[in-house]
Structure 1
Amino acid sequence: MDSPPALDHIIILLPHKDVLSPPSWLTDAFTITPGGRHADNKTENKLIVFKDGIYIELIAFIDDSPSNRKSHWWGDKDYGFIDWALTSSDPQDVEAVRSRLEKLDHQDSLPASYGTAQEGGRRRADGQEVKWKVTFPFGDVKRGEVPFWCHDLTPRELRVPVDKVATTHPCGAVGVAKVYLAVPDAKRSGYEKFYSALLGRQSGGMQAGTTGKE
């Protein structure tokens, strides 16, 4: 991996009605970009896209249906922040991360690593198909404690339309500067070792926040 992974997007789960028609507490602050329905036909989204290429995904289970939540990786999540994703220039970068994680003593680190990539996609409102691969964590961690990976199969601009209209927000936001993780003091060392391996840094060299942008 030539450079550290970049933050790709942050995911917020909302009631379906709030994705279909975003409320004023969102629209007064942000420009909402149309998203689409995911290939599994269980969720759909809209986006808040920033000039740095990072975005916030506003996602909902279609019709708030319990059947759509069943067996879904976010099916047990309450509304609010549920997950976040990293990306890199090469999907094979995940192999290097996996290799570093395998070398850790998991008695002193988070017992987690990454599985195999899975294809995903959605159809935009204009009918355009968007495809990607996601690589999810596994182990004794909850979704959102550590990020998953997202790598585009179709051009990234189809998934993330970074244009002047989409990235001009009433609140003036232009990007995501930092991601802060709040962890129990007793587990801080484990998180530091995991994230140092994830980001390709020396253990103990992490700061309170990590940054990343395209």
Structure 2
Amino acid sequence: MSSSLQPGSGGGSKKKGGRSGEGRRVTLDHIVVLVPYHFLSGLPGLSASGNGGGADGTAAQAAAGQEAAPEWFRELFTFSPGGRHADGLTENVLVLFKSGVYLEFIAFTPEAAGATAAAGGGGKGRQGHKWGGFAEGSVVDWAVTVFHDGGGGGESGTGAAKNDYDEVVRPITQRVLLGHRRHHQPDDEGQQPGGGGGGGGQVVVYGDLIPGGRTRPDGVKLEWATVPAVRLDPSSSSSSSPSPSEKEATPVDRRGGAAAAEAEGEQVHPGQAPFWCVDETPRELRVPYAHAGTEHANTGAVGVASVQVTPAPGVSAGDLGRLYDEVFARGDGEDGAEEEEKKKNNNNKWALSAPEGTHFHRDGVLELVDAAGHEAAVAAGDVVVALYTDKPELAGKRVGGKVDGDRAIWFDLVGV
């Protein structure tokens, strides 16, 4: 989970972000890290279950003979209550940053393992979960959101998640499919660019909305929707997407490309492309970073400095790059020749904007890397994350510890 990437200078205003519309920005939302279930227990300021608030539960766990989170983990961050997800399979605690981004330390519940055994591996429980095959200690996924200036987004009872999908996420799929068709348009002799007369292979786009939610320890119900990245065969007649120039609204169940992607596409290996987390209830309820819990005394962490993605087997770096191009900006640069030179040098890098923009740190960096040439021990499919710190004395340090066996959680700290 460590990273030696030094993000480039961000600059710019607080409102800078990825592609979106007026008053809305595409920003990094959160990073998902899988941990053993007992890591949620005995955290400072949380109950023994990890999610009730109140006194430190470490002593209670020890008295009951139950394993609690290791000391290095308890001291790493200030933890905020999370909750159990609606499916009952996973539970989490949060680490909120001043930038508006957060870490989600998530664990499979004991019931998840029981459900898998009871179902005989029939798609329920951990075995049927998209993150079920990952080892604890892994960065299993990461998410972006549509951040609304002046509140973050989400408004109960208004269809806010669907609106964000229709107006921001769906057009990304349309643009990727349109670009793919243009690139693979046969010439006069029926040949595809670069030779061959096939349909151009698969393309990575976004699927349809999947409702989600959880209940906070204080009883507040949160609702959102996620949108996974999927691989789609654009040559399929059912996957034709409306042209981005079309003006008419299209019902949810007749969305063309996006709906077909969810219906027929295979979800991309988690972590390779960000999934979307768009809010139905107000985001400030899901991510209460403006209130408390953002001071991290032992790390000074204020946000995410970099996300490095190593393509998994069967996942094309080119396909990922084309999707990234539609979601993220390419980073800052001056006008003219210097900007062109920067684009050339940053061919596999994109800017990661935070909800608070550059108020607390410069933009982060998203980078596609080759496992063979990486200086750290990474494997195909790995996602590596570094954090910004506002403590100069900690810049360049690595923090974290051992999870179990050969697995460990490490974060490199980068000066703001």
Q: TM-score, normalised by structure 1?
A: 0.87
CA apart distance, 1:96:
1.1
SS at match of 1:31: coil
Partner of residue 40 from structure 1, selected from 80, 83, 87: 87
Q: Count how many residue pairs are aligned between Structure 1 and Structure 2.
A: 213
CA contact under 8 A between 1:178 and 1:210: conserved in structure 2?
no
User: Where in structure 2 are the equivalents of 1:165-184 lying within 5 Å?
Assistant: 165-170=292-297, 171-183=299-311
In the other structure, the counterpart of 1:96 is 171
**Could you say which structure has the greater relative contact order, defined with CA pairs below 8 angstroms and 6 or more residues apart?**
1
1:28-57 Cα distance to aligned partner (Å, 9 max, x none): 220011100100011110001100110000
State the AA in 2 paired with 1:179: V
**Which deviates more, 27-36 or 7-16?**
27-36
- Which stretches in structure 2 are left out of the alignment for 5+ residues? 1-19, 43-68, 117-124, 148-163, 185-198, 232-265, 331-342, 356-416
User: Where in structure 2 are the equivalents of 1:76-91 lying within 5 Å?
Assistant: 76-79=133-136, 80-89=138-147, 90-91=164-165
State the AA in 2 paired with 1:103: L
Greater Cα radius of gyration, structure 1 or 2: 2
CA apart distance, 1:71:
1.9
Task: Name the CA shift for 1:189/1:72 in 2 (closer, same or farther; >3 Å).
Answer: closer
CA apart distance, 1:178:
2.8
In the other structure, the counterpart of 1:9 is 30
CA contact under 8 A between 2:329 and 2:350: conserved in structure 1?
no
User: Where in structure 2 are the equivalents of 1:45-56 lying within 5 Å?
Assistant: 45-56=92-103
CA contact under 8 A between 1:178 and 1:209: conserved in structure 2?
no
What is the Cα-based RMSD across aligned positions, in Å?
Answer: 2.8
**Structure 1 CA distance, aligned partners of 2:227 and 2:133?**
19
CA apart distance, 1:110:
6.8
CA contact under 8 A between 1:100 and 1:198: conserved in structure 2?
no
Task: Name the CA shift for 1:211/1:200 in 2 (closer, same or farther; >3 Å).
Answer: closer
**Which deviates more, 174-183 or 100-109?**
100-109
In the other structure, the counterpart of 1:73 is 130
**Structure 1 CA distance, aligned partners of 2:76 and 2:200?**
42
**Structure 1 CA distance, aligned partners of 2:75 and 2:28?**
25
Task: Name the CA shift for 1:187/1:116 in 2 (closer, same or farther; >3 Å).
Answer: closer
1:19 aligns with 2:40: yes
In the other structure, the counterpart of 1:211 is 352
Identity between Structure 1 and Structure 2 (%): 36
- Which stretches in structure 1 are left out of the alignment for 5+ residues? none
CA apart distance, 1:188:
3.9
State the AA in 2 paired with 1:32: F
